[in-house]
A and B are shown apart, each in its own frame.
Chain A
């Protein structure tokens, strides 16, 4: 398997300015703070995390819609972070994006044909007639009627609009599609249609996806590998099975156990870990391990002093976790999690 995208130590810091005339920087929001991962050709990497963890900012940095503060984004063997606008243009053809809100991401004054055909026009592909034929073909591929070519976005429902957004992303035959919460604005039954469509397209066109979502069930369904983010950092990366069956980072465990199970009997029987407090402000993140103030396994003098590196766990090079005291097994109750933390503290 070849690596399509390699991200090394990606950073995006937003300066916080004060002062009216003499502006000076008083701090920075580290929205993305040293994230490294790879995406293989033809696979889906799921990215999960709560709001404010930097997953959308990261996506925008990968596309160079935002200029990263540091780090490398190596796409197809080439670092794209320092490319000029004109050098970026052919690269943009290979990476497209599907957005969360199907209402805001389609221009209400343009017809569907123009919306889906715009990438073709931007990259000067084909004649007018060829473009029209291509757009109609794309509409059919995503399950819309080619006769919808002359309609406006408001004539479509949410699910259909998301299909239009997907058709637009497919127009120039990209290698990589970054989907930023593509189904979270949709009803469950429509969500299933879109997830199935994305899977079919991947199979038919050999697409690579980065699939960003806050819904762990959706990410599990669609992804081969999953990355969990917390406060701008990746805290765990692994295959779907590794991450969901055997999470190592306490935050991953807490996320998994917070997801409501649509089965009353299973739900009552399971062990639950409910985290205290909220995600801290990225303006002033906790020192060392950023998760330590909420972590049930917090060990004073270790977690708030040493930053845990994102390292392979248990000799498995594909399963990385950034924790000093990774979970021994799963599922685990809150008490079990805490007890081990206490034991370690006592041994020190």
Chain B
């Protein structure tokens, strides 16, 4: 049984200007010990998807449908008290900005102990022992002393380690990381990514890594979903996605990366802006920016079809397989030429 299974999840918000369909028809699953990368630009629905399944959206303002199964247990529509038992204990979450996610007037130790005391029947002394233990796990030097420090006494990278420690103190089965390294410098990012991989090997939790950075995804993910306009547009294991992407939006994303290996030349650019979710285009959400758009794309949303080549490789596109092969071969050749230059 997968650690987490999401089936046909949809979230919409009622606003003064009309209904915003932030997420629609999203299905995926994650297994223990695996990492799922979720890529998308701002407004693609990647963060809302995970706020929904954590039950963090205000039910008065949002409509949610579909199913979220945590080890077979339905999570949508359950009571707040049950949700509180699950959050922090079975699912841990790390956010982008470690400064605003920590309480500035409580010590790191106090905040870590609180997380442990909430979910385990232990004494404060035992909680303190666990706090020091987990700080050592995330490689914070002098953990015994540093538990008495306040968040402002830590650097950005150290704070993100504390956040990871807090998410892991109850040994959750799933760790959701929403842009965990975006606010960090590149050398610190490398440290944090390496740490997360080591902890995953040790604890065997499933990681869901939400990011806009294809490089981070390539480095840590086993499976990847690409989101656009509130929908999954491509879903594959990481090698298939980078070796043979099937969807024009994914092509555009890969082509627009100024990669270490492609100096000079022009970048491929996706024209236009990401779509408004208030007033989404009919048919395929990508059709207004797609250079291969056909009449059918403006009318009918393509299904999330299985790719003929890869196992479990799904994508939404109306183009026929031969055309897609041809286009990708040409595009790929262009990228390789620049690599060699």
Bits for B216-240, please: 1 = Cβ < 8 Å to A, else 0. Answer: 1111000000000000000000110
Contact for A262 among B252, B254, B271, CB less than 8 A: B254
**Nearest CB of B to A291, in Å:** 11
Q: What chain A residues lie within 8 Å of B252 (beta carbons)?
A: 189
The answer to whether B219 touches A260 (Cβ under 8 A) is: yes
Complex: A256 Cα to B190 Cα, angstroms:
11
Contact for B187 among A187, A255, A265, CB less than 8 A: A255
Complex: A51 Cα to B156 Cα, angstroms:
10
- Residue from the set A157, A222, A262, A275 with the largest chain B CB neighbour count within 10 Å: A262
Bits for B139-150, please: 1 = Cβ < 8 Å to A, else 0. Answer: 000000000000
Complex: A217 Cα to B215 Cα, angstroms:
11
Q: What chain A residues lie within 8 Å of B185 (beta carbons)?
A: 50-51, 214, 279
Q: Which residue of A lies closest to B194 (CB)?
A: A274
Complex: A127 Cα to B7 Cα, angstroms:
63
Q: What chain B residues lie within 8 Å of A241 (beta carbons)?
A: 263
The answer to whether A264 touches B187 (Cβ under 8 A) is: no
The answer to whether B239 touches A216 (Cβ under 8 A) is: no
The answer to whether B270 touches A192 (Cβ under 8 A) is: yes
Complex: A191 Cα to B270 Cα, angstroms:
10
Q: Is A240 an interface residue (CB 8 A)?
A: yes
Complex: A254 Cα to B41 Cα, angstroms:
28
Contact for B218 among A222, A255, A256, A264, CB less than 8 A: A264
Q: Is B158 an interface residue (CB 8 A)?
A: yes
Bits for A246-289, please: 1 = Cβ < 8 Å to B, else 0. Answer: 00000000111111111111110000101110110000000000
**Nearest CB of B to A297, in Å:** 16
**Nearest CB of A to B18, in Å:** 19
Within B67-115, which residues are at the interface with A (CB < 8 Å)?
none
Complex: A221 Cα to B265 Cα, angstroms:
8
The answer to whether B190 touches A187 (Cβ under 8 A) is: no
Within B159-197, which residues are at the interface with A (CB < 8 Å)?
185-191, 193-194
Q: Is B279 an interface residue (CB 8 A)?
A: no
Bits for B250-286, please: 1 = Cβ < 8 Å to A, else 0. Answer: 0011111111111110111111011000000000000
Contact for A220 among B187, B215, B254, B263, CB less than 8 A: B263
The answer to whether A187 touches B212 (Cβ under 8 A) is: yes
Q: Which residue of B lies closest to A218 (CB)?
A: B258
The answer to whether A214 touches B212 (Cβ under 8 A) is: no
Within B110-161, which residues are at the interface with A (CB < 8 Å)?
155-158
- Decide: A260 near B256, CB < 8 A? Known: A196-B267, A254-B187, A278-B157: no
Contact for A263 among B187, B218, B273, CB less than 8 A: B218
Q: Is B305 an interface residue (CB 8 A)?
A: no
Contact for B190 among A159, A199, A240, A272, CB less than 8 A: A272
The answer to whether A188 touches B256 (Cβ under 8 A) is: yes
Q: What chain A residues lie within 8 Å of B186 (beta carbons)?
A: 50, 214-216, 255, 258-259
Q: What chain B residues lie within 8 Å of A218 (beta carbons)?
A: 258
The answer to whether B194 touches A188 (Cβ under 8 A) is: no
The answer to whether A258 touches B253 (Cβ under 8 A) is: no
Contact for A261 among B155, B158, B215, CB less than 8 A: B215
Q: Which residue of A lies closest to B268 (CB)?
A: A192
Q: Is A193 an interface residue (CB 8 A)?
A: yes
Q: Is A190 an interface residue (CB 8 A)?
A: yes
Q: Is B214 an interface residue (CB 8 A)?
A: yes
The answer to whether B212 touches A188 (Cβ under 8 A) is: yes
- Decide: A278 near B256, CB < 8 A? Known: A221-B267, A267-B218, A267-B219: no
Q: Which residue of A lies closest to B260 (CB)?
A: A217
Q: Is B42 an interface residue (CB 8 A)?
A: yes
Q: Is B213 an interface residue (CB 8 A)?
A: yes
- Residue from the set A159, A254, A260, A265 with the largest chain B CB neighbour count within 10 Å: A260
Complex: A139 Cα to B198 Cα, angstroms:
50
The answer to whether A240 touches B260 (Cβ under 8 A) is: no
**Nearest CB of B to A230, in Å:** 10
Contact for A217 among B218, B253, B259, CB less than 8 A: B259
Complex: A266 Cα to B190 Cα, angstroms:
16
Complex: A159 Cα to B256 Cα, angstroms:
14
Complex: A214 Cα to B219 Cα, angstroms:
19
The answer to whether A262 touches B257 (Cβ under 8 A) is: yes
Bits for B273-314, please: 1 = Cβ < 8 Å to A, else 0. Answer: 110000000000000000000000000000000000000000
- Decide: A278 near B218, CB < 8 A? Known: A189-B269, A221-B267: no
Contact for B274 among A187, A244, A274, CB less than 8 A: A187
Q: Which residues of B contact A (CB under 8 A)?
A: 41-42, 155-158, 185-191, 193-194, 212-219, 238-239, 242-243, 252-264, 266-271, 273-274
Excluding A192-B258, A262-B259, 5 further A-B contacts by CB distance (< 8 Å) are: A215-B258, A217-B257, A241-B263, A262-B217, A262-B242
16 A-B pairs within 8 Å (CB atoms) are namely A51-B156, A188-B257, A190-B273, A214-B185, A220-B258, A244-B260, A255-B186, A258-B187, A261-B259, A261-B260, A262-B214, A262-B215, A263-B218, A274-B191, A276-B191, A279-B185
- The 9 closest A-B CB pairs, nearest first, are A260-B215, A192-B256, A221-B258, A258-B190, A50-B185, A189-B270, A187-B41, A192-B267, A192-B269
